[in-house]
Amino acid sequence: MSKVLIGLLLSCLSAPLLAEPEQALIQDLNSRVLRVQVGLKNGQYGLGSGVVVAENQVVTNCHVVANASSISVMSGGAAYHAVGVKPDWKHDVCMLQMEDLPLKPVAMKSSRELKYEQAVFNIGYPSFVPAPVSASGVVKGLFTMDDSVIVRATSSFRQGASGGGLFDDTGALVGLITLKSPGKDAYYYYMSVDWIQALINQPAGPIVVKSELPFWGKPAAEWPYFMKVVYPFLHKDWAGLKVIAEQWAKQEPQNTEAWFYLAAAEYETKDFTTAEQHLHRVVSMNDQHSQAFYYLGMIAEASGKHIEAMASVDALQQLDTAAADALKVAMKSLP
């Protein structure tokens, strides 16, 4: 695929045109997404975001409150001090135990119920902004981890928003803002609501706790495969991507994304026959995988199978109209 077509693919699949959530819904949620302020042992302080998820309980990321000597949340200009913490260091989910916090919790839905291309939006407090910020997007990846999934969505966020919420169009919390990959074409990841719910009834420990690294903070060799594939995919290291994806598919043969990234590497190294087989496997497992339909359309058009190519366009029209338009443009540029 040419650099121009790669650019079309990445841009159209990362920034679809979306209907914005209703302002009344955002305003209602804004009062329950809070700024988290952390006093550190060295006398400095840090900022993050949090979401009210139960009576007197606010969830945030563990990396927001790591090495804290004090933690407070801000609401309506008032500060409320946490009296305990329930940490899940591996998944970077920490629950703050509060007292007399006069805020109603948000509704929650399991992250496992999400679908690809589902509309979502986030709310968080980027560092030093006076009001919460929201960004809309769609779900682009659901990566199995332990008993739930990590969510990748196109709704972007900035430093300080960590611990804020990802919501569906009903306003239910479906993920926790957590991390993004480096670079301008960043991938944005959200931790599972299931891990939030698992902490609610756990006993709280003291504020001053020893911090541990989350899965994403460990050395790159220990990252999960969904993180390992990002750099070679975005930087067009197709040989490197193929090695990682082959390992992933062998270890997790039921993982849709493993087969997609393997197929992408095969396509870009001109192994079109194998790529097509693996892309069909992807869409048989997940018929909402827009990137797979894009590649299938390109393979079909290059093979002179215009009707099959248009079937991919039609499938994309139901998922992501911007991606469908980009595929039509890309198909016309093929020799």
The pLDDT assigned to 40 comes to 87
Structure tokens at 203: 């006993």
Among the candidates 146, 178, 193, a domain finishes at: 193
Residues 155 and 204 reside in one and the same domain: no
What is the pLDDT, as a whole number, of residue 209?
64
Prediction pTM value? 0.90
Residue 227: Cβ within 10 Å count: 18
Rounded to whole angstroms, how far apart are CA atoms 151 and 186?
Answer: 14
Residues 249, 183 share a domain = no
**What CATH number is associated with residue 243?**
1.25.40.10
Q: Are residues 91 and 210 in the same domain?
A: yes
Q: Are residues 228 and 305 in the same domain?
A: yes
Bridge partners of 78, per DSSP, are 75
Supply the pLDDT for residue 18. Answer: 57
At 157, which helix (H) or strand (E)? none
171 and 49: one domain?
A: no
- 186 and 116 within one domain: yes
Identify whether 298 is part of a domain. yes
Compute the distance between CA of residue 274 and CA of residue 255 in angstroms, rounded to an integer.
17
**25 lies in a domain?**
no
Number of compact structural domains in the chain: 3
- The verdict on residue 335 lying in a domain is no
SS3 50: strand
Residue 127 is assigned to a structural domain of this protein: yes
Q: Same domain, yes or no, for 314 and 288?
A: yes
Q: Among 181, 216, 251, which residue terminates a domain?
A: 216
Do 8 and 2 meet the contact criterion of CB atoms below 8 Å apart? no
* CATH number for 81: 2.40.10.10
- Find the distance separating the first CA and the last CA of the chain, reported in whole Å: 12
Same domain, 42 and 188: no
Q: Which domain holds residue 178?
A: 106-193
In this structure, are 93 and 114 located in the same domain?
A: no
Buried b (16+ CB within 10 A) or exposed e, 262-290: bbbbbbbeeebeebbebbebbbeebebbb
* Rg for the chain, CA atoms, rounded: 21
181 and 284 within one domain: no
- What is the residue-level pLDDT of the chain in tens, covering all 335 positions? 444 344 444 444 444 445 577 888 999 999 999 999 999 888 888 999 999 999 999 999 999 999 899 999 999 889 999 999 999 999 999 999 999 999 999 999 999 999 999 999 999 999 888 889 999 999 999 999 999 999 999 999 998 899 999 999 999 999 999 999 988 889 999 999 999 999 999 999 988 767 889 999 999 999 999 999 999 999 999 999 999 999 999 999 999 999 999 999 999 999 999 999 999 999 999 999 999 999 999 999 999 999 999 999 999 999 999 999 999 999 999 88
The type of residue at 253 is P
| Same domain (yes/no): 205, 80 | yes
Two structure tokens written together for 10: 């990445």
Give domain status of residue 23, yes or no: no
Same domain, 279 and 225: yes
Is residue 237 a part of any domain in this protein?
Answer: yes
